[in-house]
Structure 1
Amino acid sequence: MLTIRKISAQETITVRHPVLRKGKPIESCYFDGDNLTSTKHFGLYENGILQGVISLFDHKSHLFEDKNQSQIRGMAVLENNQGKGFGSLLVEHAEKILKAQNVSLIWFNARENAVGFYQKMEYEIIGNSFDIPDVGKHYIMWKRLRS
């Protein structure tokens, strides 16, 4: 059985570390703003075991004029469960939560190998690729939420 529920920043680390920061210090899994009350973290559980995470930050990008923006960070699904639709479920859940909060635009830095996944969910690239040191090539992607 699959469920998605709100979790703490600390709980995201068990998925962030092996997926997003494999081989790097555990400290690299903590993001600025993780513990702000405005930041929301969600976990996808299969039969009670955490398999995927997504975090929503109240953070505006200068690239967009929308007043109500949210940034996705730390979206990850454990490797043995990738390709099962868990990531899509997490992003759809995030979109639903943000629409209810009248957020009009979602944006994030997508790893090069995740661009196709997000494009299938109607996210678009803006600008050129850029490198995040020790992490790799990324693109800024975005989507306007419709009510």
Structure 2
Amino acid sequence: MIRFIHTKDTLALRSLVLRNGLAEQDCINPQDDLPDTFHLGYYNEEGKLVCILTCQHEQHPKLPHDGYRLRGMATHPDARRKGYARELLLAAMEHIKTQLQIPYLWFNARAIAYPFYESLGFEYMSDEFDIPGIGPHKEMFKLL
């Protein structure tokens, strides 16, 4: 089941999956609690939160219109390859398009996730670059 969640609900998975066990309080993004930021979570059949994402209202400087940025998408290692991330991201894109009426979603994709995002129709808009302590990324976007 997909639900809107709070910043605090995202921190354990962010720490585990995205930040190499960094303390949860250090996994908070400055925009997490802005009024137009939202967080979604996927709860499995047992009611455990297994996949999360955050979307913040942020225009990309290379794109002409108002946009949203995907941040902190993470799936628990035991819940990978079950389609949860796909369902969650599709729900976020639908919300951005229909409820918020924003024309695109963009983000910095980790190299390991390039095939996942490509499978959903996202396109590259940068060469690969390194985020210190996290690794190689490329900017990606999709018109909604």
TM-score interval, normalised by the smaller of the two chains: over 0.9
Equivalent residue for 1:93, pick from 91, 98, 106:
91
Please name the residue that 2:122 is paired with. Answer: 123
Deviations 1:95-136 (A, max 9, x none): 110011111010000000001100000001111111111111
The residue number in structure 1 matching 2:131 is: 132
How far, CA to CA, are the matches of 2:26 and 2:88 in structure 1? Answer: 22
Question: Displaced runs of 4+ in structure 1, greater than 6 A?
Answer: none
What secondary structure is seen at the aligned counterpart in 2 of 1:141?
Answer: strand
**For the residues of structure 2 that align with 1:26 and 1:135, how far apart are their CA atoms?**
16
Deviates most, 124-133 or 23-32: 23-32
The whole-number CA distance in structure 1 between the counterparts of 2:32 and 2:105 is: 17
Which of the pair is proportionally richer in strand?
Answer: 1
Larger CA deviation: 115-124 vs 19-28: 19-28
Distance 2:112 2:33 in 1: 28
Hey, what's the Cα distance between the residues in 2 that align with 1:28 and 1:111? 20
User: Could you say what secondary structure the match of 2:91 adopts?
Assistant: helix
In the alignment, structure 2 segments of 5+ residues that lack a partner are none
Q: Alpha-carbon deviations, 1:21-70, whole Å to 9, x = none?
A: 1233334311120011110001100121100101110011101012x200
Aligned position for 1:64: 63
Q: Which stretch has the larger CA shift, 72-81 or 27-36?
A: 27-36
Shift of 1:20: 0.4
Instruction: Look up the SS of the partner of 1:54 in the other structure.
Output: strand
2-side partners of 1:37 and 1:99: how far apart?
A: 18
Distance 1:65 1:7 in 2: 30
Structure 1 contact 21–28 (Cα < 8 Å) conserved: no
What CA RMSD, in Å, does the superposition of the two structures yield over aligned residues?
1.0
Task: Please give the residue correspondences for 1:1-147 in structure 2 after superposition, counting only pairs within 5 Å.
Answer: 3-46=1-44, 47-66=46-65, 68-100=66-98, 101-145=100-144
Normalising by structure 2, what TM-score? Answer: 0.95
Q: Distance in 2 between matches of 1:11 and 1:25?
A: 14
SS at match of 2:33: coil
The TM-score, its normalising length taken from structure 1, stands at 0.93
8 A contact 1:54–1:74 mirrored in 2: yes
Amino acid of the residue matched to residue 80 of structure 1? Answer: D
Question: Whole-Å Cα distance in 2 between the matches of residues 86 and 29 of structure 1?
Answer: 22
